[in-house]
Amino acid sequence: MKRLVVVTLAVLAGCTYYVAQPPTYASAPPPAMARFDRSWSAVVGAFGDEGVQVTSEDRNAGIVSGSRGGIDVTANVRAQADGSIRVELNTRGATERDPGLIDRISRAYDRRMGR
């Protein structure tokens, strides 16, 4: 009996015990969300830079709408499957009053994105 206890203790002493590392949590948002947030802010800022009054924002749908001088402007901000962000700008209404508005908004967006 004594021998069995000694053998059991010897076997147990040879076992390796592993301690699992505690999980780590990232404090920064995921890269895709950070890119979306940056693009969203740049679109809203570009609207303001060109005097377009934002009339509605729906982040979940990715749509910003506004108007200036009878021209309605819409921006669609979409995350792509590859993690990139696509921004599409559209105008409708009295675009003949300011045909360069869409181009100026696009340039303002690019400036805000550092391009």
pTM: 0.72
pLDDT tens profile 10-51: 555 555 555 666 776 656 556 778 899 999 999 999 999 999
Q: Classify each residue of 7-30 as buried b or exposed e, where b means 16 or more C-beta atoms within 10 Å of its C-beta.
A: eeeeeeeeeeeeeeeeeeeeeeee
Sequence spans of domains, the chain: 29-112
CATH placement of domain 29-112: 3.30.530.50
